[in-house]
Every structure is written in structure tokens, then in C-alpha cells.
Amino acid sequence: VNTRDQSLLDRAFHEAERASWLWTAPNPRVGALALSQGHVIGHGHHAYLGGPHAEEAALRDAGAWQEDSNGPLPGVVDEMVITLEPCSATGGKKRRLHSCLELLQSAGVQRVVLGATDPDPRHQGAAIAAMREQGIEVIHAGQEERFSAQNPAFLKAQEHPQRPFVLCKWAASVDGRTATHDGVSQWITGEEARAEGHQLRAVSDAILVGARTLELDQPRLNARVSPEEPWQGQPLRVFLSASHLALADQGPLSIAGPRLWVECNPQATLPAGANEDDQLIQVSPDDSGRPSLSEVLSVLKEQGVGRLLIEGGSHVQAAFLRTGLLDAVVRYEAPSLFGGGLGSLQGEGPDHPQHAWQLFAEDRRDCGKDLRRAFLLRAADSPVVQE
């Protein structure tokens, strides 16, 4: 790679840093530049799951996009610099019918500088081969290590393609309490933190809660975001236990939208009150006679869930942690002290602090008076992943 291409790639990698894994996972952080006759005229990054990929964002920024056909305007951009090989398949893309490969082709791009190939063996090198076949000059800089260092969440997701990327989110006091001793949790944090919680729902394919949270909180579990916000998805609502379906008919949970009830009791059926939005799935019991969480995740993945948000309660969260099925935690901390009440994860815990799960890749933000901290997880004995 010559100095000119390398310095453009550096800019693209910086552009990718404007994104956070918290919003893109399981997708990677990717940055792109759009050029015309050697001059950068646009830049963009993939900002959130379901949002425009970096290539589209850069083409839009360059003015190389036609809103009426919702596709590239040919002849404006002739070169692109991208940190990752463009996607060559539309599979899994939520908002567009076209792959980024097709976008570059229809924009009339003639030269592409790439940081890294797609690590997914099903796509690795496919777009590079396709572009070269069409006479597009492709410079592959071989900067896979740099791309990986920028994308620990994406790499984590690649390790388990058979299940969704799983985040667990809760609100707690400074002493880590998520509810009072008799189960009241609404509300611990302020409006800003709760508004961000809705955005997290909107970028998730599904939300899961435990039976007791359903019973005590009767949450609506929909994403309530303002119409100006880019993320407008509504997640599938998943409940660990169908015995509480009776609740679904009343109150907040009765709002329309698909709901999935998980059971490990083969006799369980959908009781009266269920409608066409309700689906019951049977999974095997685990050692404690409760639904096998890994099976639940496999079923969700089969149903197209790539990102799952767990919103309580503390026993269900601890069960996911114990079985090693959590990828990330998002904690909203309110400046309050309970001095008692329910903890965020009610499990047995490790027998030594050395065996505690390690948190890394922190994304931290002030949400009004509250503090949001998001982390990726790794087991105490797993190799350190570079941030």
C-alpha cells in the first residue's frame, strides 16, 4: 500500500471509531471514504445495527445518493476507501435489498482500497473477487489485525454464529440494587437513561424477560422512540414461561406485536387469551428443570434474531451469565443508595474473585444524572482480547 492509500485508510479507520460496538453489534464498526478524482468528498460509518452500512453512509455524504430510487447516483464517486471488504450478500441486511458490492457497482466506483477481508469464511474474499472480475481495481491492504483490534464485539459474535449476540441491561443504585426488597423497580433511573433504553430496544431484534419481571413489572417491552430517531424497529418479545400468559391479556403487555412464550413442559399449551401474535416454543429442560437457555437462543437465531436484549430479572440474568451465554452488559447507575433489596444478578457467584468474569471495551456515557456503562465480557481464564 502506498503512502497516499495508507493515509486514506487511516482516515477511514478513524471514521469507524465514531461508531460504538454497543450500537453496531453483532455487526462490526466500519468506516468509509468516498472520493472523486482523488479528493475526499464524503465519509461515513456504520452507526447502528439495521442502519446504513459505511459505504452507503459515505455515498450519501458525498451527495451520490438519489432519494427517489433510494440508490446510488452514478458518476459522482469514482474511488472508495473502506476498512472492511464490502458485504457481497444481502442476507441479514435489515433495511436494504442491495449488498454494498452492488452499491459500489451502481455508483460507478472504479478503484477500491480495503483495510481487511471479511473474517466470515462464507464471505471472505467474495466481494474482492467479484469487483476484480468486473474490472474494478482493488487494493487490499491486509490490515486484518487493525480491523480486529477495533472490533472485539464483532469477533465475539463470530465465535458463536449459532446464537444471537446477547446483551443484558439493567438499572441499579450505586450499591447495585435493581429493585426494593418487595420487587419495586420503577423507576430507579431518570428520563434520559430510560430514553436510551428504548433506543437499545429499537436496535435489538428481540427482548427477553423472566417470569417474575413479567408478573411484577408488567412491562410493555416495546421501543418507544421519537419519530425523528433513525431506529424505528419493534423487537420480538420473549418470555421464559408460558404460565404467565394470562397476564398478557391485560394491561401494558396486551399491546399488539409478536410474542414468544418459552416452555420446557411438554404439556404446556397456549391458554385462552393468546392470539395470532403469540407463539409457544418447547425446549428441553436444563438441570434445574427450567428451559435450556442455549436451546432458547438457537431457536431465536433460527427465527432471525441476531441481537437479543435481556431486561431482567436478576435470576434470569444470573442464569445467562452462569451458562456463559452473555456477550455484553449495559448498566445504568443512578446516584442513589438502597441499603438493601434485590441485586442485579442473583446467582451463586465465583468461589474466588480471580474467577470473576472480566469486563472490557467499556462504552460510558452520562445520561442526565445517571451513568451508563456498557462492557463486553470474557471468562477469567480466556485470553485477553485487545481493545
Ligand X SMILES: NC(=O)c1ccc[n+]([C@@H]2O[C@H](COP(=O)([O-])OP(=O)(O)OC[C@H]3O[C@@H](n4cnc5c(N)ncnc54)[C@H](OP(=O)(O)O)[C@@H]3O)[C@@H](O)[C@H]2O)c1
Binding track over 251-290 against ligand X, x by CB under 6 A:
---------------------------------------x
* Residue in the block written with cell 430507579: 188
Of the candidates 369, 71, 364, which has an alpha carbon nearest to the alpha carbon of residue 191? Answer: 369
Out of 120, 346, 368, 371, the only residue in the binding site for ligand X (CB under 6 A) is 346
Out of 319, 321, 329, 330, the only residue in the binding site for ligand X (CB under 6 A) is 319
In the bound state with ligand X, the residue whose beta carbon lies nearer, of 108 and 190, is 190
In the bound state with ligand X, the residue whose beta carbon lies nearer, of 5 and 192, is 192
Show the CA angle centred on residue 149, arms to residues 230 and 324, nearest 5°. Answer: 80
In the bound state with ligand X, the residue whose beta carbon lies nearer, of 41 and 293, is 293
In the bound state with ligand X, the residue whose beta carbon lies nearer, of 84 and 264, is 264
What is the rounded distance in angstroms from the CA atom of residue 215 to the CA atom of residue 235? 20
Name all contacts of 315-319 with Cβ < 8 Å and 24+ positions apart.
315/210, 315/212, 315/346, 315/347, 316/208, 316/209, 316/210, 316/213, 316/240, 317/168, 317/170, 317/344, 317/345, 318/345, 318/346, 318/347, 319/290, 319/293, 319/347
Out of 51, 210, 235, 306, the only residue in the binding site for ligand X (CB under 6 A) is 210
Question: Which of these ranges, 90-98, 155-163, 310-318, 350-358, lies near ligand X under the rule CB under 6 A?
Answer: 310-318
Binding track over 212-231 against ligand X, x by CB under 6 A:
xx--xx--------------
Largest Cα separation within the chain, whole Å, is 68
Provide the sign of the torsion angle of the four alpha carbons 224, 226, 227, 233, taken in this order: negative
Total chain residues near ligand X (CB under 6 A): 28
What is the rounded distance in angstroms from the CA atom of residue 127 to the CA atom of residue 183? 52
Tell whether residue 242 is a contact of ligand X (CB under 6 A): no
Could you tell me the strand order of the sheet in which 39-45 lies? Answer: 39-45, 31-36, 79-84, 111-116, 137-140
Residues of span 156-185 touching ligand X by CB under 6 A: 170-171, 178-179, 183, 185
In the bound state with ligand X, the residue whose beta carbon lies nearer, of 55 and 333, is 333
In the bound state with ligand X, the residue whose beta carbon lies nearer, of 103 and 330, is 330
Whether residue 372 contacts residue 364, with contact meaning beta carbons closer than 8 Å, is answered with: yes
In the bound state with ligand X, the residue whose beta carbon lies nearer, of 73 and 207, is 207
Query: Per the structure block, which three cell numbers stand in for 368?
Result: 442526565
Whether residue 374 contacts residue 328, with contact meaning beta carbons closer than 8 Å, is answered with: yes
Query: Per the structure block, which three cell numbers stand in for 33?
Result: 471514504
In the bound state with ligand X, the residue whose beta carbon lies nearer, of 112 and 297, is 297
Residues of span 12-71 touching ligand X by CB under 6 A: none
Out of 44, 297, 314, 377, the only residue in the binding site for ligand X (CB under 6 A) is 314
In the bound state with ligand X, the residue whose beta carbon lies nearer, of 20 and 292, is 292
Collapse the DSSP code of 90 into the 3-class scheme (helix H, G, I; strand E, B; otherwise coil) and give the result: coil
Nearest approach, Cβ of residue 75 and ligand X (Å): 51
What is the rounded distance in angstroms from the CA atom of residue 358 to the CA atom of residue 180? 27
Of the candidates 46, 24, 32, which has an alpha carbon nearest to the alpha carbon of residue 154? Answer: 24
Instruction: Please identify the residue of the shown chain whose CB is closest to the bound ligand X.
Output: 313
Question: Which of these ranges, 9-17, 155-163, 203-211, 299-307, lies near ligand X under the rule CB under 6 A?
Answer: 203-211
Out of 203, 240, 283, 374, the only residue in the binding site for ligand X (CB under 6 A) is 240
Question: Which of these ranges, 10-18, 96-104, 131-139, 208-216, lies near ligand X under the rule CB under 6 A?
Answer: 208-216
Give residue 2's identity as a one-letter amino acid code: N
Write out the residues near ligand X by the rule CB under 6 A.
170-171, 178-179, 183, 185, 188, 209-213, 216-217, 240-241, 290-291, 293, 311-316, 319, 342, 346
